[in-house]
Amino acid sequence: MRKVLLMGNPNVGKSVVFSRLTGVNVISSNYPGTTVEFSKGYMRVGNEKVEVIDVPGTYSLDPNSKAEEIAVNILKDSIVSQNGIVVNIVDATNLERNLNLTLQLLKENIPVIVDLNFWDETKHLGISIDVGELERILNVPVVPTCAVTGEGIKGLVDRLLEAKAMAYEYQEGEKWHEIGKIIDRVQKVSHRHHTFLERLADASIRPLTGVPIALGVVYIAFKLIRSIGEGLIGYVLEPIFEKLWAPLMMKLSSILGSGGFIHDILIGKIFEGKIDFRQSFGILTTGIFVPFAAVLPYVFAFYLVLSFFEDSGYLPRLGVLADKMMHQVGLHGLGIISMMLGLGCNVPGVLATRVMETRRERFISATLLAIAVPCMAQIAMIVGLVGKYGTKALMFVFGTLFLVWLTIGILMNRLLKGESPEIFVEIPPYRIPYFGALVRKLWMRVKGFLKEAVPFVLLGVFIVNILYSFKIIDFLGKLTGPVIKSLLGLPSGAVAALLVGFLRKDVAVGMLVPLGLTLKQLVIASVVLAMYFPCVASFAVLVKELGVRDMIKSAAIMIFSTLLVGGALNLIL
Amino acid sequence: MVKDLTQMKAGEKGRVVDIQGGWGLLRKMDALGIRPGTEVVKISSQLMRGPIIIKVGNTQVAIGFGMARRIIVE
C-alpha cells in the first residue's frame, strides 16, 4: 500500500491535518513535540486506499532527539521501499525557517508536496505569500490550508499525486542563501500594530510580570479543577448513584439472598441495611462508583483545563519561567510539560520524555514521574478521602510529594553522571483554542480513561474480594506486619492496598476507607501509595522507555525512598 | 559594537556575527534559523541567569543562558 508521510517542523499542525485526512483523532496541541509516536490512518485518493502516517515534528533531517530520530527513520524506510509520498507541512507564518526542512526533503528521492498551513494567520500578521511563484520555484505543488477549520484540505488531497521527487537542485553549502533568495521573491511583509495577544505574550514571559501571572494561572487552574470535580460529584454523580443505582442494587442484593460468596463479590458489604458506595467493595457497587463517580469528574475537569492550556500556547512559556527550578532537578524548563501530562496519567507523561535530548534527562523525569507525580485518578481519591479533614491536610500530602520530587530530583542530578542540556525551544504564538478541536481532544482523553481504567478497576475490586475471602490478606498481613506496622505505623490490612495499588492506584486508595485510619495514617498511606511503585500501565511504559536495567535502578530508588519518607512521616507526625 | 545575547537589552535589535560552539551547537541553532547573518530582537531575559528569549523572523525562541552567551551579535 502507498504511504503518505506528513512531515514538517514541530508545531505546524501535522496532527490536525492528519485528523482531517483520515478522520482518526490524535492529540494535537500548541507546543512543539506533542507527537512523539507516529500514528497511522487510512484515506482514499481516487480509487486507491493509502496509509497516512503522522510523523513526529523535526526541524531538519539530522535528528536532535529520540522523537526526531523516529521521524527520520520513517522517511528512510519509505525511501527504501519506494512507495511513499511526503506531505511537507509548512507554517506559512514562518516560511523562511520551515523551508530549511523543505529543501532537505526536496533533495531526497521521494515525491514531495508542500502544504502551507496556518494560511489564515498570515493575513492577520501582514504576510503575503505568492503561492504560484513559490510553486514555480520549488517545482512541486504548493497548497495553502487552514487545517483547524478544514479549509484547503480538499485541494491538498486533489493534488496529492502531483507530488514530485528531486524537483529542486541546489548546492548543500548554499542552502540558506538559496532560502533567502526564495523568500525575497515570494514573501512580502507589511507593517502593522501589535495585537493584544502579542502584548500579553510579551508580558507573560518577562520575569517581573510573568511569574505573578504564572502563579495566578496555576492557582486558578487548580481551583477550577477542584470546583468542577467536586461540583460534578456532589451535584450530579452522587445523586445519580444514591437515587437510581442504589435501589437497583438493593433489589439485586435481596435476589442474591443478601449474602454469600456471589453477593459479596457483586454487591459487597451492606452497612445498616444500606449500600455504601465507598466501602461496600462489590464489583457493581464500589467497582462502578470509583471510576465513574469518584474519578471521572476530576479526570474530565483536569483534561478540560489542560487541553485549554495546551492549545493556547501557554505551556512552553511556563517552561521558560520554571527553567531555573527544573535545572535543580537536572531537567530544563520544558520538563515541566511531561510532569503536567503525568498529573493526568503517568503513561503519556513518560512518553512525552521522548522529546528530551539525553538519556539522563529521560531517566530523571521518568523516575520523578513514577515516584512523586500522582495521576488524577489517585489525586481524586486522595482528595475525597483526606479532603474531609480540610485543605490543610491535603496540602500536607501534596506538599510532601513535592518536597520528595525536589529532593530526589536534586539527588539524581548530583549523583548521576553527565550534564543536562539547556533549554532551546521555539515559543509558539498564543492562539485562542478552537472549540471543536478542544472538545474532540477532551472526548478522546475521557474515552481513553474509561477504556483503560474501568476494566482494571473492576478486576482490582474482584481481586480484593478474592484476597479477603481466602484469607490471603491475613497471611500477608502477618508476613509484612513488622514493616507496615512498626515502620509505617499502618494496620496490617494496608498491605492489601499496596498489593492492589500495582493494578490501580485509585482502587488502592479506596481500600483505605473501610480500614478506619486516623488522619496521620491516612496521610502516610496516601504518600506511600503514590510513591512505592507505579501501577501496571505505567510500569509497562517505563520498561519500554527506560529498558530493564534502568527500570530496576528506578524501582530501587522508589522502594528505598518510600520506606525512608514513610518512616520519617511516622516518626514526625 | 559586538556583544553576546545576554548583554543585549530587551527590545534591542542585532545581527548574529558568530556562534562560538562546536558543530552540534551550530546545527541546533541552524535548525531554528539562527546563524551568522540572522537578524534578532531580544524580547526578555529571566532573572538569575535564566533563559533568554529572542525573536527570529516571526518566531520567538527561548535559549538557555550558557548557550546565549556563545551567540555574538552586533
Task: For chain B, say whether A59 makes contact (Cβ under 8 Å).
Answer: yes
Predicted confidence (pLDDT) per residue in A243-267, tens digit: 999 999 999 999 998 888 899 999 9
Beta carbons of A205 and B53 less than 8 Å apart: yes
SS3 A52: strand
Residues A338, A352 contacting (CB under 8 angstroms): yes
Task: For chain B, say whether A316 makes contact (Cβ under 8 Å).
Answer: yes
Task: For chain B, say whether A199 makes contact (Cβ under 8 Å).
Answer: no
Distance CA A391, CA A484 (A): 27
Domain B3-73: CATH superfamily is Ferrous iron transport protein A (FeoA) (2.30.30.90)
Beta carbons of A424 and B43 less than 8 Å apart: no
The predicted model gives A557-570 an average pLDDT of: 96
Element of type H or E holding B56: strand B52-56
- Which residue in chain A has the smallest CA separation from B23? A62
Contacts of A125 in chain B (CB under 8 A): 58
- Which residue in chain A has the smallest CA separation from B58? A94
Beta carbons of B43 and A202 less than 8 Å apart: yes
- Which residue in chain B has the smallest CA separation from A60? B31
pLDDT at A319: 94
- Which residue in chain B has the smallest CA separation from A61? B31
Distance CA A387, CA A389 (A): 5
Confidence of residue A286 (pLDDT cuts 50, 70, 90): very high
Nearest to A5 by CA among A58, A48, A65, A47: A58
Residue A258, all three cell numbers: 443478601
Strand order in the sheet with B52-56: A424-427, B59-63, B52-56, B39-45, B13-19, B71-73, B3-4
**Is pLDDT at A162 greater than 90 in this prediction?**
yes
Mutate to test the interface with B, among A64, A101, A357, A424 (most CBs of B within 10 A): A424
Phi and psi torsions of A143, nearest 5°: -125, 120
SS3 A414: helix
Contacts of B63 in chain A (CB under 8 A): 422-424
Please give the interface size between A and B, counted as residue pairs whose CB atoms are below 8 Å apart: 93
Nearest to A378 by CA among A353, A397, A400: A397
Predicted confidence (pLDDT) per residue in A460-477, tens digit: 999 999 988 888 888 888
CB atoms within 10 A of CB A514: 17
Nearest to A318 by CA among A219, A461, A223: A219
pLDDT at A203: 86
The predicted model gives A502-512 an average pLDDT of: 94
Residue B7, min C-alpha distance to chain A (Å): 16
The ipTM is 0.94
C-alpha to C-alpha distances, A125 to A92, A192, A194, A221, A431, nearest whole angstrom: 11, 8, 9, 30, 13
Largest distance between two CA atoms of chain B:
29
pLDDT at A237: 96
Contacts of B28 in chain A (CB under 8 A): 64, 424
C-alpha to C-alpha distances, A94 to A101, A431, B40, nearest whole angstrom: 12, 15, 14
Beta carbons of A207 and B27 less than 8 Å apart: no
Domains located in chain A, CATH noted: 3-189 (3.40.50.300), 207-465 (no CATH)
**Is pLDDT at A440 greater than 80 in this prediction?**
yes
Distance CA A62, CA A178 (A): 19
Nearest to A208 by CA among A314, A321, A315: A321
Residues B36, A395 contacting (CB under 8 angstroms): no
The predicted model gives A320-346 an average pLDDT of: 94
Range with the poorest average pLDDT among A107-121, A444-458, A476-490: A476-490
pTM, two decimals, is 0.90
Task: For chain B, say whether A320 makes contact (Cβ under 8 Å).
Answer: yes
Task: Determine whether A244 is exposed, middle or buried from the number of CB atoms within 10 Å of its CB (0-12, 13-18, 19+).
Answer: exposed
Distance CA A72, CA A502 (A): 37
**Is pLDDT at B48 greater than 90 in this prediction?**
no
Beta carbons of A324 and B32 less than 8 Å apart: no
Confidence of residue A357 (pLDDT cuts 50, 70, 90): confident
Predicted confidence (pLDDT) per residue in A391-432, tens digit: 999 999 999 999 999 999 999 999 999 888 999 999 988 888
Spatial neighbors of A470 by CB under 8 A, at least 6 apart, are none
Mean pLDDT of the residues in chain A? 92
Confidence of residue A196 (pLDDT cuts 50, 70, 90): confident
Residue in this structure with the C-alpha cell 473501610, named with its chain if needed: A514
Residue A356, all three cell numbers: 528530551
The predicted model gives A508-527 an average pLDDT of: 94
Confidence of residue A378 (pLDDT cuts 50, 70, 90): very high
Which residues are A142's β-sheet partners? A114
Return residues 43-72 of B near A (CB < 8 Å).
Answer: 43-51, 53, 56-67
pLDDT at A556: 96
Beta carbons of A96 and B31 less than 8 Å apart: no
Beta carbons of A207 and B44 less than 8 Å apart: yes
Mutate to test the interface with A, among B34, B58, B71 (most CBs of A within 10 A): B58
Distance CA B1, CA B21 (A): 21
Checking DSSP bridges between strand B3-4 and strand B71-73, what pairing results, if any? antiparallel
pLDDT at A260: 87
Nearest to A85 by CA among A25, A2, A181: A2
SS3 B32: coil
Task: Determine whether A260 is exposed, middle or buried from the number of CB atoms within 10 Å of its CB (0-12, 13-18, 19+).
Answer: exposed
The predicted model gives A78-83 an average pLDDT of: 89
Nearest to A484 by CA among A511, A535, A524: A524
Residue A203, all three cell numbers: 508580558
Residues A356, A335 contacting (CB under 8 angstroms): yes
Residues in chain B: 74
Beta carbons of A324 and B48 less than 8 Å apart: yes
Confidence of residue A185 (pLDDT cuts 50, 70, 90): very high
Which residue spans within A219-339 are E strands per DSSP?
270-271, 274-275
